[in-house]
Structure 1
Amino acid sequence: MTQTVNGHGTVTTSGSGPRGGDDRLGSGVYDGPRALAEARRALRVALPEPSSKYTQDDEWCVVQQPDGAWSEFRFHDYDRIFDVPGLYEKIFYDVLGCDSPRFMVGLLADALADARIEAADVRVLDLGAGNGIMAEELAAVGVAHNVGVDILPEARTAAERDRPGLYTDYLVTDLTALDAEGSRRLAGHELNALTVVAALGFGDIPPEAFRTAYDHVAEGGWVVLTIKDAFLAADDTSGFARMIADGMASGTLEVVRRERFRHRLATDATPLVYEGIVARKRGPLA
């Protein structure tokens, strides 16, 4: 059984959302490019019944596309989701109220202001760039040089389709096996910031890929990341808890902002809590 949402039935849950908002499904925290508005309105999404519990890695929905056909999509089947214009935004922003890119860019903007650094001087490596929502939020605060990296060619295609011109460059590559040409290409951008938002801990970006991206950021550069709180726990097996904890303890990661926040809602309408970290790179990760 499924529940239809976002204009086709309403589901509510108690509690408070990020920065005092509410937890309604379809809370409308993100508008996005006008070109996608019609595509998003034409899509209908149905979620599993709220009583059905799924791990975050196994969440799914069914989607009625403009031709009337219904199809099932797992949330981590990003290649299929990116192929449908507006579907990523429909699921994660319109229905599940994701706020991570806006929230994290806000933390970064505050940190830059405190450090008296102009956003125009920041040159970002956006890891797990997807279809460009993070670059859109960064551009809104004045960051003009964004380099996207994603392992999926469908992600770059979607970014070029939905948000043309936001990325100075966009590499489709596996950072666990980055070749010399890819490394030279990244180095040529003289990157001084890394953003990794809503992409760590589920196997999409393993620690080795994060370390490679980190190594291409200049000393003193900015590191902006979100990660589910479970992946920072003592019993974490992903490798991120130790990497990040060791970086903080050694001073390699100098944390300047750290907040727990609601990344989005799960399909059962419970909040998914993440850690948001803004740090300065002060040395290599162990």
Structure 2
Amino acid sequence: MAPTAVNGTSTGTSGREHEVVRQAPAPGEASGRTPHHPVDLEAARQSIRLALPEPGSKFSQDDEFCVVAQPDGSWGEFRFHDYDRIFQVPGLYEKIFYDVLGCDSPRFMVGLLDDALASSGVAASSLRVLDLGAGNGIMAEELAAVGVEHSVGVDILTEARDAALRDRPGLYADYRVADLTKLPAEDREVLAAHQLDTLTVVAALGFGDIPPLAFRTAYDLIAPDGWVVLTIKDAFLEATDTSGFGGMIGESIRSGALEVVRRERFQHRLATDRSPLLYEGIVARKRGPLAG
């Protein structure tokens, strides 16, 4: 299971190079707007050398990893869910998930939301968004591209907030580092003061990153009849799911507490073995409390 190069640099452990799946446009290019992040983020992104496991190797999504060239010439391993370490390296998150593995979830889900808003006669500029699992701000950037003017980020990692402020300054009206399974009263008051009416949770549910209780806390902060935008791996919505999301979200949809207005199955990204990872994308209205 020796790694192979993805961008023209061999690790010396294999003679086969791993082609880059898709070179994503620089954030902001597709819409023609000026990117919010410092221009050196793109330079950092392009300079990173990384390698994936051999194409025949297969890992569970929770165990995927890559190796990244270090300044001293060695190669360091990064598990994909070690977000604290990844966010500390400018451009590494984008390099792994967007340039190499073709992640499309933020753009895709904002497109679904924008379509639903247009059908409902709601201006994107009127939304007040809680971006849960905000990471380094890619979702907020996509939201800003369609006219959203007020986004608040929440993440459990200080490294995520630091990366968002470093790479995409000015996108969030506020960014709170908080554990929503035990949200401090001060943070709850600050978030409530933003009068939030939209919740986005994209590429963040399941795998222990955001547990059901954290999702419920965020949901409860959203005004009645507000918007809920989420992605979740289809397996978490099956009857055999043990994460807690299948019952909570499934029952809420069936009861009408979550009124689905858009729902599509789509390719979130590629796995390291090049197989597609399929997610459910849901845009809904909050019509009542979550089930359970």
**Which of 143, 150, 153 is the equivalent residue of 1:148?**
153
Q: Identify if the C-alpha distance between structure 1 residues 177 and 38 changes in structure 2 by more than 3 Å, giving closer, same or farther.
A: same
Q: What is the distance in 2 between the residues matched to 1:66 and 1:39?
A: 13
Q: CA deviation digits over 1:124-146, x for unaligned, max 9?
A: 00000000000000000000100
Query: Which residue identity lines up with residue 179 of structure 1 in the other structure?
Result: P
Q: What is the distance in 1 between the residues matched to 2:209 and 2:110?
A: 22
Q: Contact 2:18/2:52 (CA < 8 Å) preserved in 1?
A: no
Q: CA deviation digits over 1:134-177, x for unaligned, max 9?
A: 00000000001000000000000000000000000000000000
Query: Which residue identity lines up with residue 256 of structure 2 in the other structure?
Result: G
Give yes or no for the alignment of 1:36 onto 2:44.
no
Structure-2 residue corresponding to 1:27: 22
Q: What is the distance in 2 between the residues matched to 1:99 and 1:44?
A: 22
Query: Which residue identity lines up with residue 6 of structure 2 in the other structure?
Result: V
**Which of 262, 285, 289 is the equivalent residue of 1:284?**
289
Query: Which residue identity lines up with residue 204 of structure 1 in the other structure?
Result: D
Q: CA deviation digits over 1:198-252, x for unaligned, max 9?
A: 0101101000000000000000100000000110111000000111111111100
1:3 Cα deviation from its structure 2 partner: 1.6
Query: Which residue identity lines up with residue 107 of structure 2 in the other structure?
Result: R
1:68 Cα deviation from its structure 2 partner: 3.2
1:28 Cα deviation from its structure 2 partner: 2.3
Give yes or no for the alignment of 1:62 onto 2:67.
yes
Q: What is the distance in 1 between the residues matched to 2:121 and 2:71?
A: 48
Give yes or no for the alignment of 1:203 onto 2:190.
no
Query: Which residue identity lines up with residue 235 of structure 1 in the other structure?
Result: T
Structure-1 residue corresponding to 2:140: 135
SS in 2 for 1:53: coil
Listed as ranges, the matches of 1:1-286 within 5 Å are 1-8=2-9, 11=18, 25-32=20-27, 33=37, 34-286=39-291
Q: What is the distance in 1 between the residues matched to 2:217 and 2:165?
A: 25
1:70 Cα deviation from its structure 2 partner: 1.7
Q: What is the distance in 2 between the residues matched to 1:100 and 1:245?
A: 21
Q: What are structure 1's unaligned runs of at least 5 residues?
A: 13-24
Structure-2 residue corresponding to 1:19: none
Q: What is the distance in 1 between the residues matched to 2:71 and 2:45?
A: 10
Number of aligned pairs?
274
Q: What is the distance in 2 between the residues matched to 1:226 and 1:248?
A: 14
Q: Identify if the C-alpha distance between structure 1 residues 10 and 112 changes in structure 2 by more than 3 Å, giving closer, same or farther.
A: farther
Query: Bigger CA drift: 32-41 or 133-142?
Result: 32-41
Q: What is the distance in 2 between the residues matched to 1:156 and 1:227?
A: 23
Q: Contact 1:6/1:94 (CA < 8 Å) preserved in 2?
A: no
Q: CA deviation digits over 1:169-189, x for unaligned, max 9?
A: 000000000011111011000
SS in 2 for 1:139: helix
Q: TM-score, normalised by structure 1?
A: 0.93
Q: Contact 1:43/1:66 (CA < 8 Å) preserved in 2?
A: no
Q: Contact 1:100/1:198 (CA < 8 Å) preserved in 2?
A: yes
Q: What are structure 2's unaligned runs of at least 5 residues?
A: 10-15, 28-36
Q: Identify if the C-alpha distance between structure 1 residues 263 and 10 changes in structure 2 by more than 3 Å, giving closer, same or farther.
A: farther
Q: Identify if the C-alpha distance between structure 1 residues 66 and 30 changes in structure 2 by more than 3 Å, giving closer, same or farther.
A: farther
Q: Contact 1:42/1:66 (CA < 8 Å) preserved in 2?
A: no
Q: Contact 1:6/1:26 (CA < 8 Å) preserved in 2?
A: no
Runs (4+) off by over 6 Å: none
SS in 2 for 1:29: coil
